[in-house]
Structure 1
Amino acid sequence: MDVIALIGRILFFGSAVGHLTQADAMAGYAASKGVPSPRPATQASGVLMAVGGLMVLLGVWADLGALLLVLFLLPTAFLMHNFWTQTDPQARQSEMIQFNKDVALAGAALMFFGVYAGAGEGLGLTLTGPLF
């Protein structure tokens, strides 16, 4: 079971790398959504996602890392994927899919938080125990 949890933690971290390495494209998308200072906002959110993802991946206060991921995912869902404002049916569907993905990932991160905070030191393959 420890190896399965480790694989899940690795998969969670993967998207942060793309967010930081493609910051220009992501900033352009953020600008099209009306995000103020899109480049710094994209970089800051990428760092937040990377720090949270690394904490979960390495098992260093993984419960806090999971909460950082929620802090990234929920606002992103509402700010960047506001499907309810789209008039084109295809754009609306695409944004709804992305919105639901972010909300589902936030739910998964909350589950990570619950598992790590509840299991304490017993989860295995972590560098520290939970913070909470």
Structure 2
Amino acid sequence: MPFLLLLLGRILFVSYFIAMGMSHLINFREHSLLLKRKGVPLPRAATVLTVVMMVLGGVFVLFDWHGWIGSVLLFGIIFPAPFFLHRFWNETDSYMRLSEFAHMLKDLSLAGAAILLLS
């Protein structure tokens, strides 16, 4: 595959992780409170871990420097997320159920892409 297409794919893939990781850092308190409301254990520590895994994993994949480690970090943070954060089956409002379902599918799709990068 041509280098520019691979580079574009890497940029598009990691842009979500790096942007969200930085958003979690900038809005640390709010994100920690969200995790607490969702029942995530040790929400402050989980927020720190999320920031590190998303940003570091994204940078590793972007520059293809230890890309397999970056892919594992990204998979490790994105695969469990739907089961802790996007439990659409608990929502009673139809719009919220659909929104959480879409987030769950997005996270699972991104986890699949991280696995593809391992091959």
**TM-score, normalised with respect to structure 2:** 0.85
Which structure 1 residue ranges, 4+ long, deviate > 4 Å from structure 2? Answer: none
Q: Which runs of 5+ in 1 are unaligned?
A: 115-132
- Larger relative contact order (CA 8 Å, sep ≥ 6): 1
Identity of aligned residues (%): 36
Query: In structure 1, what is the equivalent of residue 68 of structure 2?
Result: 63
Query: In structure 2, what is the equivalent of residue 93 of structure 1?
Result: 98
Matched positions, count: 114
Query: In structure 2, what is the equivalent of residue 128 of structure 1?
Result: none
Cα shift at 1:65: 0.9
Of structures 1 and 2, the larger Rg is shown by 1
**TM-score, normalised with respect to structure 1:** 0.77
Q: Which runs of 5+ in 2 are unaligned?
A: none
Query: In structure 2, what is the equivalent of residue 45 of structure 1?
Result: 50
Letter aligned with residue 3 of structure 1: L
Deviation track 1:3-37 (CA, whole Å, cap 9, x = no partner) reads 22222222314333223222222212212201122
Cα shift at 1:99: 0.5
Matched, 1:74 2:75: no
Q: CA RMSD in A?
A: 1.5
Query: How far apart are the structure 2 equivalents of 1:33 and 1:52?
Result: 24
* Residue 7 to residue 23, structure 1, CA distance change in 2 (3 Å): farther
